[in-house]
Structure formats: C-alpha cells, structure tokens
Chain A
Amino acid sequence: MNWPLIISNTLFTAISIQAIAYVLAAIGLNMHFGFTGLLNFGQAAFGAVGAYTFAVLAGQGIPWPASGEPPWPFGQPWPWWAAALAVIPAAMVLALLLGIPTLRLRADYLAIVTIAAAEIIRQALIAPKLDERFGTGGADGLQGFTGGIEKINPWNGRTFYLWKQPFDGHQAFMIVAGWSLVALCSVGMWLLMRSPWGRVLKSIREDEDAARSLGKNVFAYKMQSLIIGGVIGAFAGVVFAVGGRAAAPNDYATAFTFFAWTVLILGGAGRIKGPIVGGLIFWLIIGFTEVFLSQVTRNKVVPTWLVNENNFGLLRFMFVGLGLATLVVFRPQGIFGDRREQAFDVR
C-alpha cells in the first residue's frame, strides 16, 4: 500500500478540474433550486452548450455553408476570449427556450422539460448532420481548441507536483483559473442574495403566490434565475472541456447533472459555500475510493472473488451512495444547512 500516493492523489482529485466543473455546475443549480426553488434536472444541457460553443468557436470556427471564401465570422477560429464571451448568449438562449413554456407552470414541468432537453442536446451532438453544418465533431467530439489558452499560459510545458502527484502546466493553469471563477461566481451570488433581488427569489422559493400578491413579477424573476444559473452551468462545461482538452457528447450525459445535484445537496442547498464544500467532499470520497481500491485490489489485500482490479470502479459509487444516504438520514440540511429551516414544511 502506497500511502503517500493515495493521499496526494486523493487531494489532487479534490481540487482537480473535474471537481471545479461540478462545483460550478452546482453553483448554478444552487441559484435555481437553492434560492428560487426551480427544479432543473438538465444542468448537463447548459454544460454541453457552454463546452461546445467554446470548442467550436475557438477550434475550427463555424463552417461556411456555401462555397467560396467564408466571410467573417465563419470558417475561422475565434480568439479564446471571444469564444468564452459567446458562451453567455448561448446559455441565455437555452434558458429562454426552456423557461418560456414552463416557468408559468408548476415546478415539475421545468424538471421534465430540462431532463428531456439535456438528452436531446446530447443526442443531437452525436448526429453527423450537426457536425456537417456546425462542426460539432459528431460522436468523437472536438479536440484542439485550447491553443489560445495554452498561448497565454505562463506555465506551459512545466510539470508540477502535489507531493507525489504530478500534473502539467495546463492543468495547473486551469485549476487556478477555475477556482478563481468559482470565487468570482460565489462572490457575485453572495452580493445578489443579500440584495432585495435575492429576497424576492427566496420568497418565490417559499410561495410564489405570496410573492405575486405583493406585486412581484414572478415569471421575470424565475427567468433571470434560470439564465444566471444556466450561464454558470455553461462555464462549468467550458472549464471541463478546456481542462480535459476535449469536448465529447457523453461528458454531458445525465450523470453530469446528478453529480452536480449530489454536490449541491451534500454541501447544503441555499448556502453560498454549499457547492464548494460539497464539491470538495464529493471528490475527496471519489478520489480516495478510486485510488484506495485500486491499490487494495492490485496488492490483493482483499480476496479477488470479492473485488478485483476490473470491477472496483463500481464500488466507488456504492460508497458515495452510502455516504449520501447516511447524510440525508442524519443531516438532511446538508453540511452547512440550518437545521431549523428543515423543520418547516415548505409546501
């Protein structure tokens, strides 16, 4: 058993780019569910839209459908910052498409529509036709769109160590940039939630008819919440894709959404620091079980008929599930929730 490796690998997983992506996705969900009471089960849709908007624009650019010299902005890569800015309107369009038909209805309808939309987007990204028209890469996804970011990265080509765990300059840069984005989003969220605007959102979470009776345009507020949380979710996708230097349709399957939900519930919905703490804990558990079980099975510490090198991966999620179930039983408000709030029957 190589304990230094186990520990350093676990710690690295907890601060890794994956962890950042899920923390960001959970911050978006916190805006939706924790503060507004919107059930968004399609955060993967926002992640996919963010990742692909960036990957297409910063990679090859959108193919020009006609023949001849493509006019700007078609057929050429965009600068990385322009591609990143374009993620915002793309996520807004998705939020409007999801929100306009459903936000006037009961909460369950948004849940149904978002979970379906996420799958529609993932399946559409696999389609070769979409690749022909927009250069989305089909089932293989896209690579080679991180050049612009690698150019501005001062640590490019270097290798770093977290104790025993090596990682390259690109990862280092994305970890710093990603956690900065997490901090920025959290501060923005904190500023919004202490304002009267945040108070209206919370009142909608509690009882939207009461908010209406006090002169609040509930639909407009829900839409704003969906847009803001969606844009943050889209940047989760960007971080994920740039960090891994690839955008693939199956990265944005339902697991993306439900990991983000797990992170949010673990940390405590409706708390600013909930997603951050939840993300750290979630990835500590995932990282530890991964490397620990891998070591255990390789060194044949447990009998191979019980668990071996090929199937230990499944055990990880059993442990996460067990941890989550224990939490829900003994601390239903999450790590940072307020027990008193749980005592009230919300609906």
Chain B
Amino acid sequence: MSAETIPVPQPADGAAGPLAGIAHEPGVAKPDPLLVVDGMRRAFGGLVAVDVAHVEFQRGCITGLIGPNGAGKTTFFNLITGFDTPDAGTWSFDGKPIRKASPYRLARSGMVRTFQLTKSLTRLSVLENMKLGALDQRGESVFAGLLKPLWRDQEREIEQRADDLLQRFKLDHMREEFAGNLSGGQRKLLEMARALMADPKLIMLDEPMAGVNPALTQSLLGHVKELRAEGRTVIFVEHDMDVVNDISDWVVVMAEGRVLAEGPPASIGANPAVIDAYLGAHHDLDLGDEQ
C-alpha cells in the first residue's frame, strides 16, 4: 500500500508544498508552525544535553530529527512531551503556550509519542492495548467503571475504531494475542496504531525503524506517509538516512544539543556543518601529510 500513496514531488534542493522557498537555516520561521520551541535547555550535571535556541515544526509535514549519537534528540523529545523537565525554555503547541508539562496532559491536548524501546503492554491483549489508547473514556472513572451501561456504547465504538486500525496496520490476526507475543517489528506497528487511537494532531516517533527488518520498514514508511495524508504532523528521530530522505519534508539536524542545520532532505547531505558534525571538521585531511 505504500507505493501509491501521496506522491510528493521533491525538487533537487528545495522543499515541496508549504515549506517551499524557506531559508535553509537553523531556527527559521515556518508559515504555519504547530510546535514552537524557544530557549530550551537541559543539563545533566556539567553536560548540556539540549540547548535549542529556537525551532519551529510545520503543521501537516513530516519532520525528521537527525544527529550523531548523543546529540540530544531523545532528550529533546522527552522535554517536549513532558517526560523530562527543562532547566529553562518555553514551548507552545498548536498556538497555546505549555505551562504544566505533564505527559498525560500533553497527550490529551493531541501530542502523542512512541518510544525508542517499544513499550507494548505485554500482558494485555493487542486489542486491549489499542482500546487503552482512546481518550476521554467514560468508563475510565472508577464509579462509572462499575456500571457497564454507562460505557458500553462508547466501548463498542472504540472497539470498532481499534479493529479498523488493526486491519490497516495488518495486526488484525493478532487481535486476541498478548502483546508480549508480537515480534519486535509488530510491536512498533502496534505502538504506532495505539498512538493513533488518541487521534493526535502531532505524533512523535522515536526511532520507529530501529531493529525492524527491511520488508517491514517499507510498510512502516507507508504508514508514516499515510499519517501525513490524514493531515497529522509527524516528527521522528531516525538514524537511517535512506529513510529520512524518503519520507521527510524537512530535516532538523542536532549536534551537541543544538540545532545545527535545517532544510529539506536534499540540502542536508551537502551542508558542510552537518558533514563536520558527523565526520569531524578535518575528516578529509590526511593527518600524516601535515607539515
């Protein structure tokens, strides 16, 4: 299903769609940002893990977040989603400034994340995993939970939605299995499908392709593109540059906690700052030939 979805034309160096004609520089303003981060800083002792001056993420686009190991990508994810607290900085989501950044509040406001190490709830069935993802469930209050008539209809509707998503992610044959019985790749699929149960505006994927075999990678890529086609915004962390080039509309490069470069995927590979960050500033010098 991945081949025929949304052919986004990608000009040689420029970006397509709403991001066309935007300067390729760190912290550049976007026409319609969903997520805006300002002066975010997080230090672990003496190590400054994240120090982002300003970055904006365009609504309805797939933004790849790349960088060498230890660049602070996952920490940045944790800060935005409330799983960690920044030492300084503000950020706003969908035009609203974020004050109390608790993970569950952010998730309810439409920002759902997945994890680098998948967190499938192993001793719940695949279907229960999915149903858990739905927000605003009446039966999730302790008193209403006792009385099935209060939540029966909503539960039926949630189950229908879960079944539709399971079918789309080709997990419907595993519906009644414990999630612990899924393979690593299937767990990635389940986590993504479960996040969709919350109907998020922004979905943040932390290394969605890590440890997934090439065949499943293709189908995962297709699913990510479908998210964009549905009008959702995707931010993802990834190391595989082929994946990044394939699906992202825009790439943000981090190194040593800062945003080093921004631009459409094609512009990134040629950016000298990015090459320096990945390979070192003197990677093309033969040290033995120095005078």
> Bound state CA distance, A213 and B80, in angstroms?
12
- Kindly identify which residue among B119, B131, B180, B195 contacts A199, using a CB–CB cutoff of 8 Å: B131
Nearest CB on A from B157, distance (A): 12
A7-15, A202-210, A316-324 - interface stretch: A202-210
Q: Which of the listed residues B81, B103, B138, B194 has the most CB atoms from chain A within 10 Å of its own CB?
A: B103
Contact at B142–A197, with CB atoms within 8 Å?
yes
Look across to chain B and name the residue whose beta carbon is closest to the beta carbon of A213.
B113
Known: A196-B140, A340-B178. A212 touches B121 (CB 8 A): no
Using C-beta atoms within 8 Å of the partner chain, give the interface range for chain A: 20 to 34
Nearest CB on A from B222, distance (A): 23
Binary contact track A198-231/B, C-beta < 8 Å → 1, others 0: 1110110111011111111110000010001000
A184, CB-defined interface residue at 8 Å = no
Contact at B139–A195, with CB atoms within 8 Å?
yes
Look across to chain A and name the residue whose beta carbon is closest to the beta carbon of B108.
A215
Nearest CB on A from B79, distance (A): 14
- Kindly identify which residue among A192, A210, A215 contacts B145, using a CB–CB cutoff of 8 Å: A192
B155, CB-defined interface residue at 8 Å = yes
B10, CB-defined interface residue at 8 Å = no
> Bound state CA distance, A202 and B102, in angstroms?
21
Using C-beta atoms within 8 Å of the partner chain, give the interface range for chain B: 35 or more
Which residues does chain B contribute within 8 Å of A228, judged by CB atoms? 142
Contact at B112–A214, with CB atoms within 8 Å?
yes
Contact at B180–A200, with CB atoms within 8 Å?
no
Look across to chain A and name the residue whose beta carbon is closest to the beta carbon of B136.
A215
B104, CB-defined interface residue at 8 Å = yes
Known: A195-B145, A196-B137, A196-B139. A212 touches B103 (CB 8 A): yes
B83, CB-defined interface residue at 8 Å = yes
Look across to chain B and name the residue whose beta carbon is closest to the beta carbon of A202.
B124
> Bound state CA distance, A224 and B155, in angstroms?
22
Nearest CB on A from B141, distance (A): 7
B115, CB-defined interface residue at 8 Å = yes
Look across to chain B and name the residue whose beta carbon is closest to the beta carbon of A204.
B121
> Bound state CA distance, A225 and B56, in angstroms?
41
A344, CB-defined interface residue at 8 Å = yes
Contact at B121–A202, with CB atoms within 8 Å?
yes
Contact at B146–A192, with CB atoms within 8 Å?
yes
> Bound state CA distance, A344 and B181, in angstroms?
8
Binary contact track B73-96/A, C-beta < 8 Å → 1, others 0: 000000001010000000000000
B151, CB-defined interface residue at 8 Å = yes
Binary contact track A167-198/B, C-beta < 8 Å → 1, others 0: 00000000000000000000010011011111
| Besides A197-B139, A215-B112, 14 new A-B residue pairs in contact (Cβ under 8 A), listed by A number | A196-B137, A196-B139, A196-B140, A199-B131, A205-B123, A207-B121, A212-B104, A212-B107, A214-B107, A215-B105, A215-B108, A215-B135, A224-B142, A341-B180
Query: Would you give 9 A-B contacts (Cβ < 8 Å), ordered by A?
Result: A199-B131, A205-B123, A213-B107, A213-B119, A213-B195, A215-B105, A215-B135, A215-B198, A217-B104
